[in-house]
Structure 1
Amino acid sequence: MILLTPSSGLFQCTNKLFLSDQATGLQIKEFARRNAANALSVANMVMGIASILSSLDGHHHAACWLILIGYLLDLADGAVARRLGTCSALGAKLDDFADFTTFGIATSLLLRTPDLLDHILCMCYILSVFVRLCFFSSGIPFMYRGLPCIYSAGVLASVSLLSGNNTAMLRVLAVAMILFMISQSFYPHDRVLESQAWKKVVYAGGVVMLFCSFFLPPCVYYLLWSISYILFPTSLWSSKV
């Protein structure tokens, strides 16, 4: 015959609570692991929405830098998903929505003026990003068809900051970026955080530059980074280099 004393009952209750807390902790960790990349995509989308609101309020400098923050987040989310083995259809959709928001709508508003032609240019830019995101697959591993919209956004945001939002220059660059995005040229999947060490250094440099957002060198840094991918995609940025 086994007698249950108050102390033994208390021990059992404490043990159950401990196991329950431990299981809850593991569930939280697993949830965080599975959604870490999705959180980065959502953060990218938030940057895009904030950039849109900043543009509409006339805060041009902030709008450009929010796009460049999204630039870094977009390069990180895929790497995190592959690193943690959490790639999913939901994650891919979130990434596309975030890219369309930040590198499509938010970037197009950098071109916005009261002029009707600029409104048309904004719409053409958004449509080109939409087409690029819908039909980017090339059928070739680690390759895109058409320039990834993140780099066109990087060029426009950087030049806009450097030129003080020179509309004539932005119009010319926007047309060029549209042609690059809808072209049938092949561009490599750069995988900056999953490739050579120097690419990781470039990414780290981009993060450091965020703390110097009131100076011109960071803008030049992001501009050169984006142009280097556009002009030398295979020789520099291919993941197989």
Structure 2
Amino acid sequence: MKQEQMGSQMTEFSWKDIINALALANMILGLFSIFCSFSRKSYCASWMLLISFLLDIAIGTMTKHLNIPHKLAGLELNDFAIFTTFGLASALLLGVDGPLNGFLAIIYVLTTSFRMCFYSTGGAPSGYKGLPCPYASCVLASTCLLTKGNTFILCCMASLMILFMIDQSCYPHDEILDSDNWKKIVYIGGVILLFFSPFPLTAFYCLTWSLSYIFSPETLWGRGVRIKP
């Protein structure tokens, strides 16, 4: 019995290390995205955010599928990585060289912080209220690539994403890697396009994916979503 318990604990800690490593990689990508934005390389910054989007889905699926306790899963590090990547780095795509851009970037970061504080309490519900931050970030990054960093369009999309994030609509958990086969194909397709396809096609694919989740959450990505009180 003791050997089995020790083996189980070793397995939990090994998975914890893997999840922590992935979360750390996610945060590093976010930091690189921030540096790229400050260097006015929005193309590279958006690319980093799209990689982080796919990585975050893998982290979330691993944590839930393996049933690793929250304290062992490195959720604190992952939360910090989410804030850095999908909050700060995503907001900086808007630019801070104007009063309107800077104000909207601050509002975007505050909205992300509010969402994280709101959903870090009360355990893991069966669904989300409001749009998850990674999907909002994916929309901004894809839009930035498709419009070559057009500030006006990015500000319009960011305003829309802020409204979706603070909205009380229900969204299903994005456990794509632990779900229907066609959802796994969508994820694998995103990975393949990201590394082996021209960026306009990849950006269009990720934008379509994210918008389908935003506007058809229950029809396409999950039915009967219930939010725990």
TM-score with structure 1 setting the length: 0.82
How big is each residue's C-alpha offset from its partner over 1:154-191, in whole Å with a ceiling of 9 and x where there is no partner? 10100110001111111111111001101122111121
1:52-71 matches, cutoff 5 A: 52-71=34-53
Stretch of structure 1 that moved more, 136-145 or 107-116:
136-145
How big is each residue's C-alpha offset from its partner over 1:33-57, in whole Å with a ceiling of 9 and x where there is no partner? 3321221111111110110011111
Q: Is it true that 1:80 corresponds to 2:62 in the alignment?
A: yes
- Structure 1 residue 28: deviation in Å? 8.2
1:163, 1:132 → 2: CA distance? 28
1:102 paired residue number? 85
1:231, 1:139 → 2: CA distance? 26
- Provide the aligned length of Structure 1 versus Structure 2: 216
Give the structure, 1 or 2, with the largest relative contact order (CA under 8 Å, sep 6 or more).
2
Distance 1:30 1:95, change over 3 A: closer
Structure 2: runs of 5 or more not aligned: 1-7
Of 193, 202, 224, which aligns to 2:177? 193
2:178, 2:113 → 1: CA distance? 27
- Structure 1 residue 82: deviation in Å? 3.1
Of 213, 224, 234, which aligns to 2:218? 234
1:168-179 matches, cutoff 5 A: 168-179=152-163
Fraction of identical pairs, as percent:
46
Contact 1:190 1:239 (C-alpha < 8 Å) held by counterparts: no
Of 112, 117, 125, which aligns to 2:95? 112
Q: Which amino acid aligns with 1:220?
A: F
Q: Which amino acid aligns with 1:208?
A: I
Distance 1:91 1:34, change over 3 A: closer
2:166 paired residue number? 182
2:108 paired residue number? 125
Contact 1:138 1:145 (C-alpha < 8 Å) held by counterparts: no
1:80, 1:184 → 2: CA distance? 26
Contact 2:96 2:105 (C-alpha < 8 Å) held by counterparts: no
TM-score with structure 2 setting the length: 0.87
Structure 1: runs of 5 or more not aligned: 1-25
